[in-house]
Structure 1
Amino acid sequence: MIKLFTLWNRRLDQTHGEAVDYWTRVHAPKVVEAHGERLLRYACNVGMPADYSGWAPDEAPAWDGVAEGWYDVDDPAELAALVGETSDRLRDGERDFMGTFQHMATDQQVHVDRARAHRGVKVLFMLARRPDMTPAQTAAHWRERHMPLVRDVLGDTLVRYTTNVGLAADFRGWSPYEASAYDGIAELAVDNPVSDHMALLQARQDVLLPDEHVFIGTYRMAFTREVLVLGRPDEPLPTTAG
């Protein structure tokens, strides 16, 4: 299984609400239909306003939305081919609300999944590694050292937690970028609202921030409202077989 993230910003002539409405109501169902049985789960992560100062370089999220699809494929090239095969059917719809977008193929590892809907928000951390570290070194520290810290700090408020390490995939022709700006994306679905979650992070920043500096160069943080288009919130997340 490979997961595909599509990070997008709206057209300049549309409001955030207009673009999100078209995305979740019109375009997302078309993606599910076009990609067929190979698409196992599909979620729309709608960017939410929040004060990100102190944790990310900017106070606003970098994207209006992040689409997330779990695909029953084994090779990034196979996923890129599937996206390419359906791009003609979907491109006009993308232009109706997207200004810019970027695809990112990832290898997902599930660390926490309580197989129920969360009652708070979903947080995305889009990270780029330190320049002096290789992708493999970054992924190893992230999953072996940092992940347990996050899991321990958030405790029972953490409903789902996955790390998604970027994979090489050629999306030229239907995405304006040849490679993602990020090395990975962490996803945390929590039972806290934005303010409570930020308060918890700030209370434990002495534990989390020093370890982030060990392997992260820069990152962007986004609070999102998750809208499931394919799948149910009480189902376990799809994982790679075996």
Structure 2
Amino acid sequence: MTTPNTVFRAVRIGLRLSQDEMAQRIRDAGQALGEPNDASKRLVQRWESGDVRTPRPVYLRALEAVTKLSADRLGFESVNLPPARVTEDGSGGHDVTRSQPDGRPAPAPAPLGDDYSGVWLSHYEYFSSSRANTFSGLHHVLLRHHGNRITAASLAGASSNPDSPLTLDLTVDRNVVTGTWTEQTADAGYYRGARYHGAIQLLVDPTGRLMTGKWVGFGKEFDVNTGPWELRLLDRSTAEEVLRRYSVAPEVPPSA
């Protein structure tokens, strides 16, 4: 009796993909990786039903590219994936291991997956010792995703604290986002134009629409502070009319 792979099914549903659409994404990833595959709706059904507990490496590499999750985190049996293979002319296949001109193995291709460019709601929390209370900082930020790098900047007038622009410089490694943040507080605000900066690390959920994690930074007395930080996708478009629409102070999320 087989055990259904409920983890993989949950990831697919979280990505809002039908079984047909998941199969198409896997085929597209295979093409991009230089090793085409024949993923089908029936194959996705067999993975979810548990009939296949360990997909072939060509499928696992494509699956990891689509979901940004490793095989074991997709509910499959853990395996050590061999490197992708290409034909001698570099056009794809499974006969000759990819190598550089000097004979050394070439680096593994960068993970594919979602482009995180778009307008996001940035929401962090911090404790003010001088006011003995916890406060929120909210910004509408524009993310631009290039390769494994993300840069972000708050839109004009789009801060819960007026004139407090925020910037982020991030690196993406599968579903882990790590980098730095900088915020320039308003001259007329409580912090009187102080500039704060620190580090941030976030995890991307399987839908690619939410990043949650923690920030760390120094306080006024050079003590190390930390707190939760969340980025929530609002609109994937970066068109001018969309940016104008979000160039307003954000509202506090219902869950805050």
More helix by share: 1
Q: Which has the bigger relative contact order, CA under 8 A and spacing at least 6?
A: 1
For normalisation by structure 2, the TM-score amounts to 0.26
